Chains A and B, each alone.
Chain A
Amino acid sequence: MDFKIAIIEFPGSFGADDFINALKKYFSVDAYKVWHLDENLKKPNLVIIPGGYAFGDYLRPGALTIGSPIVDSLRRYCNDGGKVLGVGNGFQILCELKLLPGILLENNSLEFLNTDIFVSIARNDVSFTKNFTKEEVVSVPIACRYGRFWADKRTLNELKEISSVIFRFCDIEGEVDYKNPFNDSVEAIAGIQNRTGNILGVIFRPERCCSTVSAPGYRLISGLIGNEL
Chain B
Amino acid sequence: MKARILVKLKDEIHDPGGRALAERLNGIGYTEVKSARLGKFIELNIETGDREKEKERIQEMCRRLLAHEVTEDFVILEEDEKTKQLNPMSK
CA distance A108 to B6 in the complex (A): 22
Contact A105/B17 with A59-B40, A59-B65, A63-B65 known, Cβ cut-off 8 Å:
no
A2: interface (CB < 8 Å): no
A-B pair count, CB < 8 Å, reads 29
Q: Which residues of B contact A59 (CB under 8 A)?
A: 40, 65-66
Contact A152 B70, CB 8 Å, known A59-B65, A66-B65: yes
Complex contacts, B16 vs chain A, CB 8 Å: 106-110
Contact in complex: B20, A110 (CB < 8 Å): yes
Residues of B within 8 A of A151 (CB): 70
B1-34, CB under 8 A of A: which get 1 and which 0?
0000000010001101100100000000000000
A150 vs B65: C-alpha distance in the bound complex, in angstroms?
18
A184 at the interface (CB under 8 A from B): yes
Taking CB atoms, residues of chain B closer than 8 Å to A63 are 65, 68
Say yes or no: is B87 at the interface (Cβ < 8 Å to chain A): no
B21 to chain A, nearest CB (A): 10
- For the complex, give the distance between the alpha carbons of A106 and B14 in Å: 10
By size class, the interface of chain B is: 10 to 19
A107 to B20, CA, bound (A): 12
Please, how many angstroms separate the alpha-carbon atoms of A106 and B20 in the complex? 13
Pairwise interchain contact A105-B20, C-beta atoms closer than 8 A: no
Q: Given that A63-B65, A152-B70 are known contacts, is A105 also in contact with B40, CB under 8 Å in the complex?
A: no
In Å, the complex CA distance between A150 and B71 comes to 9
Residues of B within 8 A of A36 (CB): none
Q: Are A110 and B17 in contact (CB under 8 A)?
A: yes
Q: Closest chain A residue to B72 by CB distance?
A: A60
Chain B positions near chain A (C-beta within 8 angstroms): 9, 13-14, 16-17, 20, 40, 64-66, 68, 70-71
14 A-B residue pairings within 8 Å (CB atoms): A59-B40, A59-B66, A103-B70, A103-B71, A105-B9, A105-B13, A108-B14, A110-B16, A110-B17, A110-B20, A150-B13, A150-B71, A151-B70, A155-B70
A interface residues, Cβ below 8 angstroms from B: 59-60, 63, 66, 103, 105-110, 150-152, 155, 184
Q: Which 5 A-B pairs have the closest CB atoms?
A: A108-B16, A110-B16, A152-B70, A103-B71, A110-B20
